[in-house]
Structure 1
Amino acid sequence: MGRWEPNARGRLEQAALELYIERGFEQTTVAEIAKRAGLAERTFFRHFADKREVLFGGAGTLQEFLVSALADASDAATPIDAVAAAFEAAGTLLQERRETARQRQAVIAANAELRERELIKLASLASALADALRQRGVTDSAASLAAEAGSAIFRIAFERWINEAGQPDLPHLIRESLDELKALTAGK
């Protein structure tokens, strides 16, 4: 039996990302990821269902964080402001992982199956946020609109953050995108 080594999950994530960038997602096998991480293939499957999940394994944690941050928003906040505040809080967490986020998005952008999975993840986040807004007493349609708009705001800010050099921090870009949306809808 091999000696236990710490942070197997993190090592697998790092190894997978390196290999996806070097060889491409389709050309990388689970066995290669495990080998690069210095782990057995069996260990990979203890942490991830398949090689896609290495890129999406944190989706559940992100969703829980966003819903919790939304629940903690001020009762006086409008639905869209509450959703934006939740995404800003998540943006603060992502701030330290900018280069990893950039690399992850490059891998996703190069593969149609992964792009589809990313859209599903975003739709799930919006659905969870809409449910959380409904629990705050927001009507069905307003909750859905605010959650979908918030998801779009986050996506636009995130793309700017990873693709444009010299951009300010992600929470600032989220707030800036929200302000731009408000200006557009106000007819200014």
Structure 2
Amino acid sequence: MARWEPGARERLVVAAVDLFTEQGYDETTVTQIAERAGVTKSTFFRHFPDKRELLVAGQETLSRLLAEGIADAPDGAGPLEAVALGLERASGAMGPQNRDLGPRLKAAVAASAELQERDALKSVGMAAAMTDALVQRGVPTTTAHLASEMGVLAFKQGYARWSESARGDADGLAPHALAVLQELRAASATLG
């Protein structure tokens, strides 16, 4: 096995998602994931404490990028404008590999209550990062929470649309997430 080959973390994530989809989360072992990724079991544990953490790989980076985009919004930008800038910043970190994993990841999560729980925790972390960034901009807490939840929903639905769209779509994730955010904004206006 190529223990020091670059990209081990990414290969572990892909291997895990593939195995979770093929045989189920509960039936997949850390040893199987490491073997599929072409690394040792100890390399797995250098990157992840357990197989549950594979689902939230990159969440810290994603949350940081969302918060940075919001923090860098121009003065006078409204909460949803700032969230849109956060979505754009975070979307820039999502490449073709993230897109290709989308449908398989969705299937793996749908088939496992434990993965659904981890996915929900990922959403909570994203919302908290955006809420904190908005509050630091002076947005009232309730408004910041609402805008952040809309941002999480826009990101998740935008990611689903992007990963399911035609492969010739070279625009990336951002246009999909921003379109969903605009739809949510319009829908919230109809709530009365």
TM-score per shorter chain, which class?
0.7 to 0.9
1:112 corresponds to which residue? 113
1:11 to partner: Cα distance: 2.5
Which residue of structure 1 lines up, in the alignment, with residue 66 of structure 2?
66
* Cα offset, 1:159, TM superposition: 2.5
Q: Is the 8 A contact 2:3 2:43 kept in 1?
A: no
Q: How does 1:1-150 map to 2 (within 5 A)?
A: 4-96=4-96, 97-150=98-151
> Equivalents in 2 of 1:186, 1:7: separation in Å?
45
The residue number in structure 2 matching 1:178 is 181
Inter-partner Cα distance in structure 2 for 1:169 and 1:6: 25
Alpha-carbon separation, structure 1, partners of 2:58 and 2:3: 27
Distance 2:116 2:10 in 1: 23
In the aligned structure 2, how far is the partner of 1:53 from the partner of 1:60?
12
**What letter matches 1:65 in structure 2?**
L
What 5-or-longer segments of structure 2 have no aligned partner?
A: none
CA contact (8 A) 2:84 2:178 kept: yes
Post-superposition CA distance 1:101-126 (Å, at most 9, x none): 22222211211111111111111111
1:75-106 deviation per Cα after TM superposition (whole angstroms, max 9, x unaligned): 22111111122112222332423112222222
Distance 1:137 1:9, change over 3 A: same
Q: Quick one: distance in 2 between partners of 1:121 and 1:37?
A: 24
Aligned residues of 2:69 and 2:88 also touching (Cα < 8 A)? no
Structure 1, unaligned stretches of length 5 or more? none
User: What is the aligned length?
Assistant: 187
* Residues 1:157 and 2:123 aligned together: no
Let me know the Cα RMSD of the aligned residues.
2.2
8 Å CA contact 2:3, 2:40 repeated in 1: no
Deviation, structure 1 residue 8: 2.3
Q: Percent identity?
A: 43
